[in-house]
Amino acid sequence: MTLKGRDIISFFDFSREEVEYLFRRADELESLRRGETLNVANGKIVAVIFFEPSTRTRLSFTMAVKRLGGDVLDFGEVQRTSVAKGETLADTIKMIDGYKVDLIVLRHPSEGASKLAAEFAEAPVINAGDGSREHPTQTLLDLYTIWREFKHIDNLNIGIMGDLKYGRTPSSLSYGLSLFSNVKIYYIAPEILQIREEVLEMVERKIRYEKIEKLQDAINELDVLYVTRIQKERLPNPEEYEKLKGLYTVTPSSLEGCKENLIVMHPLPRVTELSPEVDSTKHARYFQQAVNGMVIRAALIKEILGLEG
Amino acid sequence: MSEIGEGRKPKTVKIDEGTLIDHVSAGKALKILKVLKAKEGAVILALNVPNEEIKVKDVVELRKRYLKEEEKIKVALLSPTATISTVKNHVAGPGEKIEIPNHLVDILKCPNPKCITNKEREPVKTSFTVINRKPLKIKCDYCDKIVKEEEIEKLL
């Protein structure tokens, strides 16, 4: 199996075999978790081009490259660059690609931006988020966190909670889980923030699902609880937000009756939907999830660049 | 069942030379003129003509105008029943029914305002893949937006 030279535009570009292969390769990079740096990417330069702010993803990619021993060419803040002067994405990409970078990591507000970039760049392109559409490495790290915990994803019951309608994570995670067998998803949200029909249409023949309003109705069934944030601006009025905020907050007491080995995940940053008291329970995995993001990205970059060792 | 317009005798039309678009779904003729940017004075229309195959049809004759491949596809997207033929000396040649290709490149714009193909000055052509034929459903190759048959008209 080889991913050498591949563009990663959509999570749908991966097969189940490729995803599991990447998980195994990521597990081999255990030393990165201890803060070690490998020298497998010496002399390799990865361009990190972020057209919108996303500190976490940017840091995660940057650390992944540096831990492999490679170097990062960071495009900097958009407002200070030529883009502020009105340069097209195609021109920006052609210019950077002309430097013969080894890989381009791109985040852009327009949907389909990475596909366009890949058409203009000789170097492979990783989509690090394009608008509200895709963020394939986020899905990869979410699935990796689950796989690392259970050593499989088949047959698990996954609860996804919060703003399922407007958030990108719930739909991407659903698509990702649909690669596996006999997964059941509990979509836990108030009716106005429930998962979109188009997402269900895409996954309904591959997974089982149930839409519920209360976490308590499924807590004893869940292997994974994936919490996402409810954003104030998505709701019709502030009173509604205050009401829902309370109902959709996970605390140690809302986990009562859960399975022994339940894990709680969150893409971070969190606000009030996940209480800090959960951090000290044996269920919390969200900070490991962030570390897993760096490791799986390192594994992916290593494969795309065809690095040995 | 035979195809629409199939096995016909050559048809005599009003224009001397140009293009005949026949078997147009009733009510679509004016939209076709708009999409083809047909000039005034060079067009003859017949609207709501009774027809045994499609019950009622519109007919468009375009004088001294010949359609490019992408224009024929646009006609087919507006009216899948339409047949297109070249006219010489008031006689229309065999009617060609246009098959909508699997990929539609630079034919219609994407309705998603956040799609990269709608970004000003970006050197990119719109591109859609047909994902269902009856009813027609197409998907943007850049942003994955799905467009249904009834939405296509306003995107041409």
Per-residue pLDDT of chain A (309 residues; tens, 9 = 90+): 889 999 999 998 899 999 999 999 999 999 999 999 999 999 999 999 999 888 889 999 999 999 999 999 998 877 666 676 788 999 999 999 999 999 999 999 999 999 999 999 999 999 999 988 889 999 999 999 999 999 999 999 999 999 998 888 899 999 999 999 999 999 999 998 999 988 898 898 899 999 999 999 999 999 999 999 988 777 778 888 888 888 899 999 999 999 999 999 999 999 999 999 999 999 999 999 999 999 999 999 999 999 987
**Nearest CA among A166, A111, A201, A198 for reference residue B112:** A111
Domain boundary residue, one of B97, B115, B134 = B97
A107 domain-assigned: yes
Residue A79's pLDDT is 63
Q: Identify whether residues A172 and A66 lie together within a single domain.
A: no
The beta-carbon neighbor of B143 closest among A89, A90, A133 is A133
Q: Identify whether residues A123 and A224 lie together within a single domain.
A: no
Mean pLDDT of B68-95: 95
DSSP A41: T
The pair of three-digit structure tokens given for residue B44, joined into one six-digit string: 């003859």
B146 domain-assigned: yes
Mean pLDDT of B58-82: 95
A5 domain-assigned: no
ipTM for the whole predicted complex goes beyond 0.95? no
B1 domain-assigned: no
Look at chain B and report how many structural domains it folds into. 2
**Are A11 and A136 spatial neighbours (Cβ–Cβ below 8 Å)?**
yes
Residue A202's pLDDT is 85
Domain boundary residue, one of B66, B81, B97 = B97
Q: Identify whether residues B23 and B69 lie together within a single domain.
A: yes
Residue B4 has pLDDT above 70, yes or no: no
Angle of helix A16-27 versus helix A136-150 axis, rounded to 10: 70
Q: Does B116 contact A88 at a Cβ distance shorter than 8 Å?
A: no
The beta-carbon neighbor of A131 closest among B114, B123, B140 is B114
B2 domain-assigned: no
Residue B7 has pLDDT above 70, yes or no: no
Q: What is the CATH number of the domain that holds A93?
A: 3.40.50.1370
A13 residue type, one letter: D
Any chain B CB within 8 A of the CB of A88? Answer: yes
Counted residue by residue, chain B has a size of: 156
Expressed as residue numbers, the domain containing B26 is 11-97
Read off the pLDDT band of B1 (50, 70, 90): very low
The pair of three-digit structure tokens given for residue B101, joined into one six-digit string: 């290709």
Q: Identify whether residues B68 and B89 lie together within a single domain.
A: yes
DSSP A13: G
Q: What is the CATH number of the domain that holds B48?
A: 3.30.70.140
Distance CA A247, CA A47 (A): 43
Q: Identify whether residues B25 and B89 lie together within a single domain.
A: yes
A108 domain-assigned: yes
Q: Identify whether residues B22 and B91 lie together within a single domain.
A: yes
Residue A257: is it exposed, middle or buried by C-beta count within 10 angstroms (0-12/13-18/19+)?
exposed
A225 domain-assigned: yes
The beta-carbon neighbor of B117 closest among A112, A133, A198 is A112
Tens of pLDDT along A193-223? Answer: 999 988 898 898 899 999 999 999 999 999 9
Q: Identify whether residues B151 and B84 lie together within a single domain.
A: no
**Are A62 and A48 spatial neighbours (Cβ–Cβ below 8 Å)?**
yes
Expressed as residue numbers, the domain containing A123 is 11-134+293-304
Q: Identify whether residues B77 and B127 lie together within a single domain.
A: no
Distance CA B84, CA B91 (A): 13
In chain A, the residue whose alpha carbon lies closest to the alpha carbon of B125 is A116
- Give bridge partners of residue B139 from the DSSP assignment: B129, B146
Any chain B CB within 8 A of the CB of A131? Answer: yes
Tens of pLDDT along A28-87? Answer: 999 999 999 999 999 999 999 999 888 889 999 999 999 999 999 998 877 666 676 788
Q: Identify whether residues A213 and A116 lie together within a single domain.
A: no
Q: Identify whether residues B18 and B77 lie together within a single domain.
A: yes
Q: Identify whether residues B29 and B49 lie together within a single domain.
A: yes
Q: Does A132 contact B114 at a Cβ distance shorter than 8 Å?
A: yes
A3 domain-assigned: no
In chain B, the residue whose alpha carbon lies closest to the alpha carbon of A134 is B143
Read off the pLDDT band of B8 (50, 70, 90): low
Mean pLDDT of B69-92: 96
Residue B3's pLDDT is 55
Q: Identify whether residues A177 and A128 lie together within a single domain.
A: no
A309 domain-assigned: no
DSSP states along B43-108: EEEEEEEEETTTEEEEEEEEET----HHHHHHHHHH-TT-EEEEEETTEE---EEPPPPSEEESSS
Q: Identify whether residues A124 and A154 lie together within a single domain.
A: no
Distance CA B13, CA A239 (A): 68
- Is the bond preceding B10 in cis, omega lying within 30 degrees of 0? no
Best B109, B119, B120, B121 residue to mutate vs chain A (most A CBs within 10 Å): B119
